[in-house]
Structure 1
Amino acid sequence: MKWFVRSAGVVLLVTGLAKLWSAMGEARVSGGRDPLFGLTFRQLMLGVGLVELVVAGVCLVGRRERLSCVLVGWLAGNVGLYRMGLWWINWEGPFGCAGHVTGMREMLRQKERQIIRACFRSCWVGLSDKPFEEGTTCL
């Protein structure tokens, strides 16, 4: 389970820094409004980026693996609920929290949803690693 916590910490560190970088930039999508919360994408990216950095810090320097797993699961669950909300209202726009990351290359822009789904699934697979062995799972 330690490998999962550390790798999740690295992923969250990179994505959190990318969101903060995007929030500080002048990306066209950053000024738009999020359809669920009514915040600008810039505000949403700033908030989510800070949360990701906090969770990354707990995963990378914390000693409580169970807490790290719970936080990663909480974050993955919130991303899933957010995406479900976008699906519910038939939102077809870009995923605002991706910011510059999807604007860098057209290929990433076309694959954005698949990348987000793969990251979401990997969080849940990592959380339920060896679910039937005592003491090895976060769930």
Structure 2
Amino acid sequence: MISRVDVETHLAAVEQALIAMRRSQSRRALAELAVPAFEVLDVIEAAERSGSQATVSGVAAALHVDQPRASKLVTSAVDAGLVARVADKADGRRVLLVRTPRGRATSADLHRARQAACAAAMADWSDEERVVFAGLLTRFVAVFGAR
């Protein structure tokens, strides 16, 4: 049976791992992939996968920023040629965001780079460990991110 002390120790270990991961990303491993325009691409791609339409409001909500900040991030992505603004055919007053061909190619490059960084970090893990970790991390983020 797991004691309360063990649970608290494990929770502290998870917290410290999250801190270390955030710090390492801001300094090294994925820092070059954390460009704000890339975050906008990720939000638009997630909307596409879910069958919904991306908007500046959706970017603001997904990135937990206010509307003016989201608008600046989207403008940066548009200026970089990664995203286009298009009129909503159902409501001409509404502007939708779509990835340009360059944006889709950049998304694919980002996926490859992020997955390569993860593969390198787990290079000495067994296939079973990778599967278990992927399932648990996905579950954790789904709950953690919803709060």
**Structure with the higher strand share, 1 or 2:** 2
Q: Which has the larger radius of gyration?
A: 2
Higher relative contact order (CA 8 A, sep 6+): 1
TM-score by length of structure 1 reads 0.28
